[in-house]
Amino acid sequence: MPVKPGNVRQSHRYSVEVSQAGANTFYDSFVYEAIPRNGNGRIYAPTDAPYSNTLNATVDDGISIEPSIGLNMAWSQFEYSHDVDVRITTIDGSTLGGAGSVSIRPTADNLAVRDGGDGSVIIRVPAATNGYRFSVEFANDLYSFRSNGSDYVTSGGSVVGVEPTNALVIFASPFLAASDVPSMTAANTHTKTPGPTNNGDWGNKSILYFPPGMYYMNQDQSGNSGKLGSNHMRLGSNTYWVHFAPGAYVKGAIEYFTTAANFYATGHGVLSGENYVYQANAAEDYMAIKSDTTSLRMWWHDNLVSGQTWTCQGPTIAAPPFNTMDFNGNSGVSSRISNYKQVSAFFFQTDGPEIYTNSIVHDVFWHVNDDAIKIYYSGASVSRATIWKCLNDPIIQMG
């Protein structure tokens, strides 16, 4: 079932703690969890009851056996500047199997793992300017996906992939550079209050700031209350910077209208699409009606002017309902994307972000179920990208 509007889903399996390396003084690092279809089942409209099965049977949303096998994805993030020890334990009575059963991917990270002596495992994460983004996989938690040539099957067929049933991803993030933190004052910043977000609650100041806490869209476009998944934040034309504090969790999507030469999304918070249905169409009451033009993107700008640059440094997006980022209008846009994470992209067509002319992308983790690295333009650079790929389409798409 979906979680309550003001709550987040916590991992049912893992606990994560972090200590300065060798100090053995551990502090909790919250472990989020996401599940296929976000606990709603196959629904057509955001107001349909969970598991009412209103989505047309002919629509393939990219999810088949995953809910029945209990597939889920958990993640935890922290900021750091010194070597740290990350301790992982279970909270559901299961066993991890010891350090010898752990695989860390990318394997090129070559992180050291040891037993904690209490059933836990401890991973040493060195300080690094670029941080680390890695999955922790346990040999006793792997599921072999089998295919009959057209569909996943639970028996017969051929093994086409092996993944954790209870995925765990760790994001060890460097502190933001001063240039990636806006200079916030009462005059230039609209500071959100945790809780329900109604139409216009995002103001029209230059900066929109989300302090730690839970936020969720609570109205449809007409202002009717209690309509989860029936709206998104259409920012004021003066707003060019959205900043998330660590611990901010925002259930919604962001659409820019700024003509500023530089516009931004920064900070180590989470932007979650969990309340939206598959392919939520903003022009059709956010129902599951596919449109390459009006189905919702988590990051959106539909009226660019020449020479604009988007900087995205730090955020995590979770449970996107469709293509995760599209900017339309003038073709002279570019992006600067780094330390950007995408998780729980179980639906079909949950691509990575568009990579525009002369864009620079580095140090990212993208879980996708469609094109991952979308190089459609000239002069783009992508480095240190970790891709976790579902079944649909290529890792690199060139247009």
- Which tens digit of pLDDT belongs to each residue from 253-290? 999 999 999 999 999 999 999 999 999 999 999 999 99
* Pair 312, 340: CB distance under 8 Å: yes
CATH number of the structural domain 178-398: 2.160.20.10
Between strands 241-244 and 280-281, the pairing is unpaired
Active-site residue (options: 61, 85, 220, 370): 370
Given a cut of 90, is residue 150 above it in pLDDT? no
Torsion angles phi and psi, residue 29, rounded to 5: -120, 115
pTM: predicted TM-score of the whole model, two decimal places: 0.97
Active-site residue (options: 351, 363, 371, 393): 351
The answer as to CATH 2.60.40.1220 being correct for domain 14-174 is no
pLDDT band at 394 (very low <50, low <70, confident <90, very high): confident
The answer to whether residue 370 is catalytic is yes
- Return the percentage of the chain with pLDDT > 90, whole number: 93
Contact partners, residue 268, CB within 8 Å, separation at least 6:
77, 79, 173, 176, 244, 245, 246, 314, 315, 316
- Which residues of the chain are in CATH 2.60.350.10 domains? 14-174
pLDDT at 391: 87
- Which residues of the chain are in CATH 2.160.20.10 domains? 178-398
Mean pLDDT of 364-372: 95
Given a cut of 80, is residue 330 above it in pLDDT? no
pLDDT at 1: 85
Using CA atoms, how far apart are residues 399 and 394, in angstroms rounded to an integer?
A: 12
Rg, Å, the chain Cα set: 20
